[in-house]
Structure 1
């Protein structure tokens, strides 16, 4: 009996020695991601709070004095990843994952993307030889206080080729730009997929139209799409736009009229309005 109790006691001790108490982290984990063009951009970071402290400045009691290196977050630092090659503030950066380090300033910050992600938040061992990019950006004063350090990806351009990463904490905001190039990917996709599925001719034609490429080729493709689906008002509408771009107003008007009638039969008011506006521009 005593032997059994001893075994049970030892088992309980082993369990308790391995168990851990779970408590919230002082700096919550955060993540933000988006697609810019065809490129996945993701940022993983830890979010420290102000907690009544002075964060940036020159005073002796500030948390992050101007000109000193910061891991741009808490704990193991901030990671940014790109699924394709990009340009960051004009600097070519290969696809992959990087740490973000920064040197805050009164009106300007220095920011770097660091290749050796195993460094984590260990700023003492920072090595300029591992920089993938190093650039300066202007800082802005915020009218409202940001209690918890926040990173956003926004300001995505209409052509989906640029975006900005914003760092905001206390009363300070800085942004740096990301530029992508998806044209080569799209062209390769057009070449590969139009031979597999004729329906892809429509997507290829619209891409050529929107990106200002060869409209004669776009017309060839959209005609193939229209042949496969002659009553598709959305295809006819884009064909009319291509014809307009080629200077064929009469052809564009006839095609837009056909699209309008087809959209009326389908009960699609959006394309009715779009065709009416297009037809006005052709008269």
Structure 2
């Protein structure tokens, strides 16, 4: 009997990537195509509980009747939302993976690596050609981070205060793939220190790095991301960020060292909701 179960939608690229990664480790999971065979209401509630998520966090919006049903309305209780998911299984976000290490909604697909005990030691690419990334928490004063940011002309002056969460990224084969971090500002975050080596650019690494970084912020309950940039606005807009006037930003964002002068006044402010 398999020790890994994936609640899978074969029409979803993220779900296919997760399944391929599981099989790359040599495991053959139990594959449940939940649109054909939905979990029971009790099973779904238990999966959500074990994943440490709320029912609302597991609702899928894109390509579903979410808006038509008015599910943004806070009047709906968890019981109500579970009833909607039973009536419309497409509202269940995917893929949900169960292993002896726990239960996780694996979006982005790189998150499945948290659940797998024996990872391959060679690069493995997703369908779109970008490699799976491993993220490792590092201190703000990490020498590699400081060197990469300095080389990229990004701010480092405030790193000595030790604030923020930072990560180093690499492929499964150990190739360095960049750095990223964020400052926690209540329900918001300020994304900062995104850098990707020149040799890794043009492969989708930067996009996946940002998506994985936002996922880590989402896991901590953050709901909106902000950032300031002088030259990468186009890249971040492709990642779902939109320009925002500075007077529309919360005071916590405007009080950060970046907004107070580390970034020039000409830097563009962008924002997006954090979703998976």
Shorter-normalised TM range: under 0.3
TM-score when scaled to structure 2? 0.21
Higher relative contact order (CA 8 A, sep 6+): 2
Q: Decide which structure has greater strand share.
A: 1
The structure number with the bigger radius of gyration is 1
